[in-house]
Amino acid sequence: MRARLERVSLYFAVFVSGAVLLGVEIASSRVLAPFFGNSLYVWGALIGVVLTGLAIGYWLGGALADRWPSIGLLLAAMALGALLVLAIPYEDDRVLRFVVDWDPGARLNPLVAATILFGPMSVVLASVTPIAVRIATLDVATLGRTAGRLFAVSTMGSIVGTFATAFVLIPELGTNQLLALGAAVLFAGTALVAAGRALPIVGVAALAAAAAAAALSSSLAPEQGGTLTAAAAENYSPVYRLREGSVAGSTDYAAEGFQVRYRKDSAYHSIAVVEDDTARYLRFDSSFQSAMELDDAFVTPFGYVDYLSLAFAYRPEAANALYIGLGGGSAPKRTWRDFPDVQVQAVELDPEVVDVARRWFALPQDPRLAVEVEDGRRYLQRNVRRWDVIVLDAYYADSLPFHLTTQEFLELVRNRLAPGGIVVANIIGALEGPSSKLFRAFYGTYRTIFPSVAVHPVDFQRDASSIRNVIVVAGEGALPNRDFLLERWADVKAEHPQAPDLTDAIRGRYEKLVPTRDVPVLTDDYAPIDALLVVD
């Protein structure tokens, strides 16, 4: 009986260590996202660092176990791993700010941060399994079976930790709270292993540490904020601006003059709603997405939102409009108000974002403004309805859903346009120079699908090499020239006086040739979005 209990305790040790290790790896994306986004480089850094930690930990754990084959070494590895996990929520902001200030480059930034924050934890927790194998090996004739079972149990723990973190814990808990809870689980596992080995003093100490970590987990719960009443919601509106001198990716909102009203990690984003004396802002990970001024729910300092109304300069007779990407709902609700005869449909991937838009950004509840929770591409594949206007506003500065940028996707968009319909896309990039590759790749890809493509840069008087929002309008037929557009928009404004003044947006249409020979056409097979975002 005693031998079986000891064997079970080893299985439990490797299971818990594997579960926490992979759980932390999944959660670690939320630690880096507010500073570096959710790009391919972030995920590559996290996976690479954890795999490197596993390789080093397996080797180091085996070497140490051969020298000191004792249960004390196993308990020490588990307890040290728990401490390293617990340290992450307390040191991550300091480490990330250090990396941002140092700035070794867009590719190296997440790699350096991941190495510092998650490398030591990965090495220590990986060492648990080879130590357990050495302790469990009583007969060399059964070494293979023993090692195989323990590594299988460790892997099963990793599977459970992955699914539990991704499908349950991240949507329900804050990231820091989740990490502290992982440390508590490791300490509790250490206590149970000690109890199984008749080490009561060690068990009590580990159990006390587990209780302390659990208490810390509760104290690290994110701010949820309150809920706007319907009356209060009428007094708000959208914006897009960072504080002058603020650090991109900073989460120290108080230092930037913001009050946090709501925070939540959804399945897709680290969401924050913050406000100052004049405006309320929606942030995903490291990007400000939407905002609204506190005295008018339909006014936004984000100039690009007005530019999206160019759809109705190019297609003034539009009866319906589809918006892929919701954010705070700035553009759909503006269309809903400005053009009362237009049926508006929005599609948003993240249900939490829809809830935030309704609770915090006064998105109307009205049959003429419908919202569906689904991936934009899947929505178009599933619904054969044709649209007069399709607006693509699902791209943001630090991470792009590549499947919404490709030839194949744009072919689907074209097939869902009504005769004479247009597509309007909000793109981030420069028109010329080193930072223009992403925009030019977008433009070149659009030109392979649509015979007519117009470019309207926001803040068109700025230097063409500076990064900005660029509105691309594409369609099947010839697009009208600027003078005709100005006359047409004057007629639209006369009929719809609440619509924005687009005189400058139309006059600023970019008429130069856009070179595309040195950038790829984006396809489902090859869409190097993250590389095009980076300026070496």
Would you identify the CATH topology of the domain 2-219? Growth Hormone; Chain: A; (1.20.1250)
The owner of tokens 């072919």 is 411
Mean pLDDT, residues 447-462 taken together: 92
Q: How far apart are the first and last CA of the chain?
A: 63
Helix or strand run (H / E) with residue 475:
strand 468-475
pLDDT at 243: 31
Listing from the earlier edge strand, what are the strands of the sheet with 452-457?
A: 369-373, 343-348, 320-324, 387-392, 417-429, 468-475, 452-457
| The pLDDT value given to residue 231 | 34
Answer whether residue 139 shows pLDDT above 60.
no
229 or 195, higher pLDDT: 195
- For residue 283, the SS3 value is strand
Name the more confident of 148 and 231.
148
In this predicted model, what pLDDT tens digit does every residue of 82-133 receive, in sequence order?
Answer: 999 999 999 988 998 899 889 888 789 999 999 999 999 999 999 999 999 9
Query: Looking at the predicted structure, is the pLDDT value of residue 310 above 90?
Result: yes
Give Cα separations from 516 to 436, 438, 442, 463, 519 (angstroms): 10, 10, 9, 20, 5
Cα–Cα distance, 105 to 123 (Å, whole number): 25
The larger pLDDT score, comparing residue 263 to residue 15, is at 15
Q: Residue 424 pLDDT > 60, yes or no?
A: yes
pLDDT at residue 166, as a whole number: 85
Q: Which of 160-169, 223-232, 390-399, 407-416 has the highest mean pLDDT?
A: 407-416
Q: What is the model's pLDDT at position 484? A: 94
Confidence label for 531 from pLDDT (cuts 50, 70 and 90): confident
Q: Containing H/E element for 282?
A: strand 279-284
Report d(CA 356, CA 328) in Å as an integer: 7
- Across the chain, mean pLDDT equals 87
- Helix 175-196 and helix 200-219: axis angle, to 10°? 170
Give CATH 1.20.1250 domain extents, the chain: 2-219
Cross-sheet strand order for the sheet of 279-284: 259-265, 270-275, 279-284, 287-293
Q: Are strands 343-348 and 369-373 parallel, antiparallel or unpaired?
A: parallel
Cross-strand pairs, 322: 345, 390
pLDDT (tens digit, 9 = 90+) per residue, 150-176? 999 999 999 999 999 988 887 778 788
Contact 57, 126 (CB under 8 A): yes
Q: At residue 242, does pLDDT exceed 50?
A: no
Distance CA 513, CA 431 (A): 10
Classify the phi-psi angles of 344: left when phi > 0, otherwise alpha if psi is within -120 to 50, otherwise beta: beta
Least confident of 261-265, 362-366, 500-504: 261-265
Contact 5, 136 (CB under 8 A): no
Q: What is the pTM of this model?
A: 0.73
Lowest mean pLDDT among 44-53, 232-241, 350-359: 232-241
User: How many angstroms separate the CA atoms of 112 and 402, rounded?
Assistant: 25
Q: Phi and psi of 433, rounded to 5°?
A: 85, -170
- How many beta carbons lie within 10 A of that of residue 39, not counting itself? 24
Distance CA 516, CA 353 (A): 35
The CB-side HSE value for 146 (13 A sphere, CA atoms) comes to 18
Cα(90)–Cα(123) distance, integer angstroms: 20
Of 128-142, 283-297, 372-386, the range with the highest mean pLDDT is: 372-386
Q: How many C-beta atoms surround the C-beta of residue 366 within 10 A? A: 10
Q: State residue 32's pLDDT score.
A: 86
- The helix or strand, by DSSP H or E, that contains position 377, with its residue range, turns out to be helix 376-382
Using left for φ > 0, alpha for ψ between -120 and 50, and beta otherwise, residue 257 falls in left
217 pLDDT above the threshold of 80? no
Output the six-digit token pair for 526: 């090859």
Pick the CATH number of 303-533 from 3.40.50.1000, 1.10.10.10, 3.40.1280.10, 3.40.50.150: 3.40.50.150
Residues of the chain with CATH 3.40.50.150: 303-533
For the record, the structure tokens of 14 come out as 């490797």
CA distance 18 to 128: 9
Spatial separation of the C-alpha atoms in residues 318 and 311, rounded to whole Å:
9
| Residue 245 confidence class, pLDDT cut points 50, 70, 90 | very low
Residue 427's nearest CA partner among 403, 459, 457 is: 457
> Residue 454 in 3-state DSSP?
strand
Q: Is the pLDDT of residue 364 over 80?
A: yes
For helices 71-102 and 175-196, the axis angle rounded to 10 degrees is 160
Compute how many other C-beta atoms are within 10 angstroms of the C-beta atom of residue 337.
16
H/E stretch holding 372: strand 369-373
Check whether 418 has a pLDDT greater than 90. Answer: yes
Please report the pLDDT score of residue 514 as a whole number.
Answer: 95
Say what the pLDDT of residue 233 is: 33
Q: Residue 95: how many CB atoms within 10 A of its CB? A: 18
How sure is the predictor about 398, in pLDDT bands with cuts at 50, 70 and 90? low
270-275 and 259-265 as β-strands: parallel, antiparallel, unpaired? Answer: antiparallel
At residue 2, the pLDDT reads 61
Provide the strand spans (E) within 387-416.
387-392
> In the prediction, which pLDDT does 396 show?
64
Distance of CA 491 to the CA centre of its chain: 41
The per-residue DSSP string of 176-220 comes to HHHHHHHHHHHHHHHHHHHHHTT-HHHHHHHHHHHHHHHHHHHHT
